[in-house]
Chain A
Amino acid sequence: MRRLGTWIPLVGLILGAPLDAMAEIQLGGYKLEGDIEVGSRYYIEEPSKSRKTKFEEYRDMTPGVVLDSLHLRFFSPDESYSAELYGSKWGYEDQNFGLTAERLGLWQFYFEWDQTPKVYSTNSRMLSTETDRGVFRLPTPRPPLFRHNSAPEIDEISTRWDTAKLGFGYSITPDMEVNAEYTRIHKDGDKPFSLAFGGPGGNFLEVLEPVDQTIHDFRLKFSLARENYQIQIGYGLSVFKNEFDRVIADNPCFANAAACGGTDGGAAAPRFGQISLPPDNVAHSFNIAAGVNLPMRTRLTANINYSLRLQNDDFLPHTVNPALAANPDLRLPQDSLNGNVQTVLVNLMATTRPLPKLTLSAKYRYYDMFDVSDVITFNKTVQNDRSITSEARRAGRWDYSKQNAEVGARYQLLPSVTVGTAVGWERWDRNFHREVEDSDEFFAKASVDVTPFDWLLVRGSYRPAFRRIAAYNSRAHSQHTVDEDATAAAQGQSILLRKFDEGERNEQRFDLQVQVTPFDGLSLTPTGSYRYDDYINSRLGLQEETSYSLGMDVTWNPHERVSFSAGYMHEHIDQKMRSRSRPVTGTTTFDFKDFEWVSSIIDSYDTFYAGLKVAIIPRVLEWSSGVNFAYSLGRLNTNNPVTPASGTAAQDASATAQSFPATEDRLIRLDASLRYHFWKQWTATLGYAFESFRKNDWHTDGLRPFMPGITSIWLGDDDRNYTAHIVGLRLGYRF
């Protein structure tokens, strides 16, 4: 089709001449208007297949002819009835299209279809053979590990999401509406995946996860909206189906002590392993909301939402290792979880304007998540299909509730100055499984909006917050999941750790934005923000986080035929954490103070964009161009405050910190096009695009399936650099 389609623009051009004489298209009493654009894309330089991972991450850039866009609108002469068909990139992997029909002010029907590819890798290798979806086999006896480097290449590891949406809305009266919507998301393909076979810290093998998942989402809503009050009732049903419940893969180290050593390749190494995939689940959601307008410009709103999440897929067995499977301690106490999680959300809000210049508001939000799934205790479990653990384990359920409250006021001090202030509170109540059962965070807000002149707007805000806890129980998780003994307690979580999502914290936030429009056609928007989180009383764990951003946006229309926009943003995030290497010998855990290490994780981003549009000859010849540049730098600096020396040589070495090389990536995209209007309804567009991606990331640069000295096997995937030069020609017709 694409070869023949090369001539479509020319044929259309010839046929188009007589169509120019048509002022309006009539079809059986309805009118038709629309536009169609057919384009062709050719590469001057095309990235090779192995370099297309990032280039085609979410799009299909196949060269050739493409129906770029099609938009048709049918409508009755009085415009009371209309239907629209629209879409883009028809026939491509990332195509989308839709159909709507409506009776103006009475009902509306819509259908949408979208395809979104997601490419994970175009340069992986895998020696395992997928004998069935999700089953990966290696030859017996196992080949030397270095053979994985000459494994066949995998053409592409990718999934495609196909989303279909169907909806109907009906206005029973102008005040009363009912809406129904069904969305189906189907995901198909493969994703990088892996299985562990060794003990903790042992070997693993990367394979593929088969993806064939469907989400059915159905929503029904009724709303009644009168001038002074509104009511809304809704129901939602979401069903998740996974056609695959497991992955099985052969262990490359099975009976392979020569390659993997006595630990990973010894007698205990399982022949193969089995891992579970996400189970099917269902969620119901019920919602009722109401709002009422009262005197003094007062509005009260209330919302209650209840949801029920269910999951009851049959468990897989503990292990597929025949040497272990027969152990009576591994008998499952029940076949499935009877998973049942319920959430309740109550939200209340009130705003009032008792005086023309004063607005008061109050909000309260309560969110409760309670897990009433079965609490199951397993006498024994199996580690990576390799060995049976000695302790019993209980799969606890994790409940929490969260409350938020805030009261605020805004006052217009002067016609050009408005100040706002608020105080608020957030409380978490967690069950006994988490280290902090309750925490309270108090915050204040101050804001000011100043418009001293028509051309100047300044918005600033400041928000300090303080989170405090009553107690931190480091043993909480293990106390309720493992039959604890002294050994387990000693090897559990360091009592010096404070997890960042639970521990005490002081936070400061500043935001500032200025909009300057010195004259019509020019707008400048400098903006900045600063945030500092200090995790106080955290001897170990995240210590502090500092981030700031500075940016500017400019929009300039010096002439009605010229528009220019540009912007720049710099963002900086600095996170500091402190940890301690805790080796174990026998049943003794060593807590040497000199085994501590400190890490600074610093990420910075620089983003620049600019665009120019010029009507060279108004409504005849237009120029459009744009550039986007994004650069990120990630640094990970780690050091020991004190040189480790308290352990054995091996323990000292394990505790010794090293900084990692910085990672960076850079994306440049340049677009330019010249659009020519002719014969009133036709357009021809000549375009050029340049795109370049560069990355230095030691995590994946040079990563091969087999790395010398390591018994684990990767896919060896890497987001490689690419450069692309693309030219395109589009022909459009509007009627």
Chain B
Amino acid sequence: MPGTLWKVVGLVSILLLVPLVGPAQQPPSTPPPAAPAPVPPGIIPPGLPAGYVGAETCKLCHDEQYRKFETTKMGRLFLKHPRNMVERLGCENCHGPGQKHFEAGGGKGIGGMITFAKNDPTPVAVRNDKCTSCHNRGPHMFWKGSPHEARDVACTSCHRLMEHTGHAQLAKGNEIETCGTCHLEKRAAQMRSSHMPLREGKMKCTSCHNPHGTVTPALLKEPSLNDTCFTCHAEKRGPFLWVHAPVNESCANCHDPHGSNHQAMLKMPKPRLCQQCHIESRHPTNPYGRNTGSLKFVLGRSCSSCHVNIHGSNHPSGFAFTR
């Protein structure tokens, strides 16, 4: 350890000396905004509908936003490689026709522009319609009527479009923090000891959910909850010779997929989990304790120590899921 520590100290010392020998680092200065000027001749692309002035006109005043938008995929498409008239509208495709805004000299709220800011008076539904005029297929097809749309959640609540923010243009850089802005409980659940690898960065909320709307409750991506789980846990899909009925109907009968403090993300510790439904006779019905006779039923994996194939068995003698 001491040798390693000295290596670290030495490297840090070298790095700290760098500014003494490297080019001086000057903080950038922000130039003052340019005063509005008349639209230079030829800057409005031909063929635009009446009332539209083109992205180059917007750039005259909103240069910084233009340059940031240029770095995004949508920006590159709209500003450099539009495929149709809708995309050729550029900035005005989303913000609305800009002629009145420009002729009035610009300013917030001038000319009826949609700003998509939090205090934008434009109704959320109207703002969202701008997005869904193009994003109406694939994962966005069932947006209308979805839980988020029904509660007037704006697209811009979760996404930032004007600059490159990484995966899916999320507002907060990653899905856990974006979804966790409102779903605090689910954000906290990823910290539970028995969990899927969300906090390790190996899964995301959208591994199972589509926040834009789906045909399945809880915004799950597949036709049913079980089908969603089977995407990765196909060994549980079967069909099996001997079926465990609650497994067949919903994995969430026993598991909490967001995490728990019990083995295998179970909602309740064993044996109690199983004893909710099994009151036949003999050993499933005893309360147990910590006496010797009880220990094999409660320690370790408890009921699953014998009933191993609890999700279903394809063994001819697997009726009790012990084979």
Contact = CB atoms under 8 A, between A and B. Distances in A.
B8 A104 contact: no
B215 A500 contact: no
B188 A712 contact: no
Interface in A325-374: 332, 337, 339-341, 343, 345, 347, 349-351, 353, 359, 361, 363, 365, 367, 369, 371, 373
Nearest to A591: B281
Question: Number of contact residues on B: which range applies?
Answer: 35 or more
B193 A632 contact: yes
Interface string B143-154: 011000011100
B188 A581 contact: no
Given A174-B84, A581-B287, A599-B287, A381 B317 contact: yes
Contacts of A17: 22
A6 interface: yes
A70 interface: no
A299 B143 CA distance: 10
A369 B237 CA distance: 13
B81 A316 contact: no
A225 B184 CA distance: 35
A423 interface: no
A299 B144 contact: yes
A581 B285 contact: yes
A94 interface: yes
A395 B16 CA distance: 73
Interface in B58-95: 73, 76-77, 80-81, 83-84, 87
Nearest to B292: A709
A76 B200 CA distance: 35
A656 interface: yes
B261 interface: yes
A319 B301 contact: no
A434 B234 CA distance: 25
A665 B195 CA distance: 13
A640 B288 CA distance: 12
Interface stretch (B46-54, B96-104, B244-252): B244-252
A491 B284 CA distance: 12
B46 to A, nearest CB: 20
Contact of B136 (A291, A397, A408): A291
A714 B297 CA distance: 12
Contacts of B25: 619-620, 677-678, 680
B105 interface: no
A80 to B, nearest CB: 6
A127 interface: no
A584 B282 contact: yes
Interface string A581-592: 111100001000
B110 interface: no
B268 to A, nearest CB: 5
A525 B180 CA distance: 11
Given A10-B14, A291-B136, A698-B290, A42 B73 contact: no
A9 interface: yes
Contacts, number: 441
B8 A339 contact: no
Q: Identify the interface centre among B77, B137, B249: most chain A CB within 10 Å of its CB.
A: B137
B174 interface: no
A13 B301 CA distance: 53
Contacts of A580: 279, 285
B260 interface: yes
A105 B73 CA distance: 9
Contacts of A410: 150
A583 B279 contact: no
Contact of B261 (A54, A185, A383, A632): A632
15 contacts: A9-B11, A80-B80, A116-B197, A276-B309, A276-B314, A279-B240, A289-B215, A381-B317, A581-B286, A583-B281, A599-B287, A619-B25, A660-B289, A679-B22, A682-B18
Interface of B: 1, 4, 7-8, 11-12, 14-16, 18-19, 22-23, 25, 27-28, 73, 76-77, 80-81, 83-84, 87, 118-119, 125, 133, 136-138, 141-142, 144-145, 150-152, 180-182, 184-185, 187-189, 191-193, 197, 200, 202, 215, 217, 223-224, 227, 230-232, 234-243, 245-246, 248-250, 253, 260-263, 268-269, 272, 275-283, 285-293, 295-302, 304-309, 313-320, 322-323
Q: List the 7 closest A-B pairs by CB distance, nearest first.
A: A658-B289, A339-B239, A630-B191, A278-B235, A607-B188, A569-B188, A196-B306
